[in-house]
């Protein structure tokens, strides 16, 4: 079963509540929330107050992606509202301890790799993860073009999960649309983050249905 996690990064925040209701009706599985600090990535987005507000107005699980430096400092705060917390392998934390802490707080744990990071770097962390996120664009901005090299990373992670007997969610984020989604799924992804492709559509439900039909 393919899960759809629309990223609100490219949404119009003045109409976000209505758009979330439309996405709920369209059958999306969760909402992807990109938290950026202007240090780990060259952009600033939003923090826990916005996530708290979104949590109060949706039944959808919140897939919180921390693009921040030393994310271990904020895990306890984000765990108050997140259902999944993902953070970057490259962000300067004790990754194993951070993953364990996320689970201790009753939240699903996930590690993220940038396009420059090889999937083998996180193989030893897989038993501590509920999900792995492969970036198919450079993190920091929405609306970028899908990087094909992500496909080999997805395949390597899926093969390793199968070898270890892990029933893992593998998420891909960046440039997902009707053309790239089938490629990502074939490579091993089962959670698709789509931001601009969904939120820029006149009929968001149709876009969700299109991707879900893969």
State the catalytic residues. Answer: 34, 173
Residue 76 contacts residue 103 (beta carbons within 8 Å): no
* Measured CA distances, 103 to 75, 76, 113, 173 (Å): 10, 11, 19, 22
């Amino acid at each position: 079963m393919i899960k759809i996690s629309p990223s609100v990064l490219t949404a119009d925040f003045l109409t976000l509540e209505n758009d979330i209701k439309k996405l709920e009706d369209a059958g999306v599985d969760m909402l992807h929330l990109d938290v950026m600090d202007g240090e780990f990535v060259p952009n600033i987005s939003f923090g826990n107050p916005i996530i708290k507000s979104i949590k109060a107005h949706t039944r959808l699980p919140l897939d919180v992606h921390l693009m921040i430096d030393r994310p271990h400092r904020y895990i306890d705060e984000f765990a108050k509202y997140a259902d999944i917390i993902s953070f970057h392998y490259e962000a300067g934390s004790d990754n194993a301890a951070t993953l364990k802490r996320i689970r201790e707080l009753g939240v699903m744990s996930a590690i993220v790799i940038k396009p420059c990071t090889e999937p083998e770097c996180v193989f030893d962390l897989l038993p501590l993860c509920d999900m792995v996120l492969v970036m198919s664009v450079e993190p920091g901005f929405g609306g970028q073009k899908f990087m094909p090299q992500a496909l080999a990373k997805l395949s390597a992670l899926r093969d390793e999960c199968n070898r270890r007997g892990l029933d893992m969610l593998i998420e891909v984020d960046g440039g997902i649309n009707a053309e790239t989604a089938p490629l990502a799924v074939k490579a091993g992804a089962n959670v698709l983050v789509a931001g601009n492709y969904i939120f820029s559509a006149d009929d968001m439900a149709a876009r969700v249905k299109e991707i879900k039909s893969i």
